[in-house]
Amino acid sequence: MSLSETITLPDGTKYEQPLGLFINNEFVQGTGGLIESYSPHSTKLITSVHAASAEDVDKAVQVAREAYNKTWKHIEPSDKGKLMWKLADLLEKNGEILGKIDAIDAGKPFENNALNDIAQSASLCRYYAGYTDKVPGKYTQINADKFVYEVQEPYGVVGQIVPWNYPLAMAQWKILGAIAAGNTVVIKSAENTPLSLLYFGNLIIEAGFPPGVVNIISGWGKEAGSAIASHMDIDKVAFTGSTAVGKLIQQMASASNLKAVTLECGGKSPCVVFEDADLESAVRHASLGIFYNSGQNCTANSRIILHESVHDKFLQLFKDYVDSNWIVGDPFDPKVTVGPLVSKVQRDRVQSYIDHGLNVEKLERFMGNEPVKAEGYYIPPTVFINVPTTSKLWKEEIFGPVAVVCKFSTYDEALQLANDTTYGLGSAVFSTNIKRAHRFAAGLQAGTVWINSSNDEDVRASFGGYKQSGEGSGRELGEKGLLIYTQTKAVHVNLDLEGSKL
């Protein structure tokens, strides 16, 4: 099979799509068969890419280890930063084609979603480019004759596994922090969305990175993903995806060489609206928090918790706003803000929750009654109201444009409802009483809290989860997103040479 193919996109754009595994700055044949990639809008085959076997993963790890030992660890930190700055320029230069690839492969609305992902990736690349020669350390004076300094050193070879909801952006969260810290990388894309990350391999070459620093593979989770998690020569693994798979990754990492693990897993984020909230602002942000990226967000505020005095007014404003601003349809239509779900499997999974709510639990559907008149794997923005906390839809991550709503009357009740989940990734609270908002934020069991906004993360602020949303110390973005790819070495320096004689 060829290592590339000319693809014609729905808007007529033609580009050359790499299909092979990106190892040692070359696209090479895989030995794990082929992975077919379909458009979730047209449901038609886009192309097929090479899949990595465990043997291919091993080759990529060997290459990454050699690159780490022979080249990357010897390059000055400031020179690493210059390479990353070039990469950021290339992300911007190629932003349109990368966005269009994610639009066709993942169903992301091009104008209102995919381009945002690429812009954030370029911004993050520049942020970490400036960090390469500023990795912090620590100095401690023990006494007049002794001091200790602590340095943060790279692990070496890092294995990374990324999800399909942000095919390129989530990969950048992982790759950029790891290489800025001085590691080399073997990263596996999601089976559903391999195309943009493979195209990114071209930018690694063009930016001038030494061969083997970044290696990109497509592959099945059971083979290639497992090979990464259990590989004896990978020093750390980072994973974003479901909590169930995250637990398996952690088990395999522990059973192999006890490699370090960073996990970012599922979520069931609350959005709490107090009676004094600016309702129009709360409606805008709450709708963004659940319907952006078709609800396929780990931090989607899928549990909307409303004070009883504003419940009815909020819902009417919410419906009016969603009807006018969250437009379902073709990802290449500039008016569209809600694209299809990534696959038939995902669409059917989300639909099964809706059907369960309607037919088993007899929940009241407030929005989403009209089916989408478009081919592809679509679910309309859907809201259930008066949902009890015992509901399956309240407890489980749906990962689609589906929200549940309940009422509260007191502050304590609102906090209890917000924390009534096994997850703890994101959360939002709306109130013009800033003292109450900060107090409420302190009580929320979540790694990220938005006050009077939702799902507007920033590359300079850390991101990660509490409880079953992730491994406790694991954070991405910000300084911590670099430091998770380092380990601490304490160096003890004794100046009293005479006193140390036996």
**Token pair in block for residue 316:** 């009417």
Q: Which burial class, exposed, middle or buried, applies to 141 when counting CB atoms under 10 A from its CB (0-12, 13-18, 19+)?
A: exposed
Structure confidence by residue, pLDDT tens digits, 183-195: 999 999 999 999 9
Query: Quick check: 254 pLDDT over 70?
Result: yes
Q: Smallest Cα–Cα separation from 90: which of 168, 3, 192, 170?
A: 168
Average pLDDT score over residue span 140-163: 98
CATH number of 270-451: 3.40.309.10
Structure confidence by residue, pLDDT tens digits, 12-58: 999 999 999 999 999 999 999 999 999 999 999 999 999 999 999 99
Query: Quick check: 266 pLDDT over 80?
Result: yes
Contact criterion met (CB below 8 Å) for 47 and 7: yes
> In the 8-state DSSP scheme, what is residue 476?
B
What's the maximum distance between 2 C-alpha atoms anywhere in the chain?
86
Mean pLDDT of the chain: 97
Listed by start position, the domains of the chain span: 4-265+470-489, 270-451
Contact criterion met (CB below 8 Å) for 342 and 107: yes
CA distances from residue 5 to 10, 17, 27, 450 in whole angstroms, order as listed: 16, 5, 12, 43
Residues annotated as catalytic (active site), given as ranges: 264
> In the 8-state DSSP scheme, what is residue 225?
I
Query: Quick check: 501 pLDDT over 70?
Result: no
Query: Which pLDDT does position 474 carry in this prediction?
Result: 82
pLDDT tier for residue 371 given thresholds of 50, 70 and 90: confident
Query: Quick check: 1 pLDDT over 90?
Result: no
CATH number of 4-265+470-489: 3.40.605.10
Q: In what order do the strands lie in the sheet with 270-273?
A: 364-367, 382-385, 402-408, 303-307, 270-273, 428-430, 450-451
pLDDT tier for residue 121 given thresholds of 50, 70 and 90: very high
Query: Quick check: 77 pLDDT over 80?
Result: yes
Query: Quick check: 373 pLDDT over 90?
Result: no
Query: Which pLDDT does position 471 carry in this prediction?
Result: 78
In the chain, what percentage of residues exceed pLDDT 90? 96
Average pLDDT score over residue span 301-325: 98
Structure confidence by residue, pLDDT tens digits, 416-475: 999 999 999 999 999 999 999 999 999 999 999 999 999 999 999 999 999 999 876 789
Query: Quick check: 133 pLDDT over 90?
Result: yes
Contact criterion met (CB below 8 Å) for 157 and 61: yes
pTM: 0.96
Query: Quick check: 84 pLDDT over 80?
Result: yes
Average pLDDT score over residue span 1-22: 97
DSSP code string of 230-294: H-TT--EEEEES-HHHHHHHHHHHHHTT--EEEEE-----EEEE-TTS-HHHHHHHHHHHHHGGG
CA distances from residue 336 to 110, 166, 291 in whole angstroms, order as listed: 9, 18, 12
Query: Which pLDDT does position 500 carry in this prediction?
Result: 61
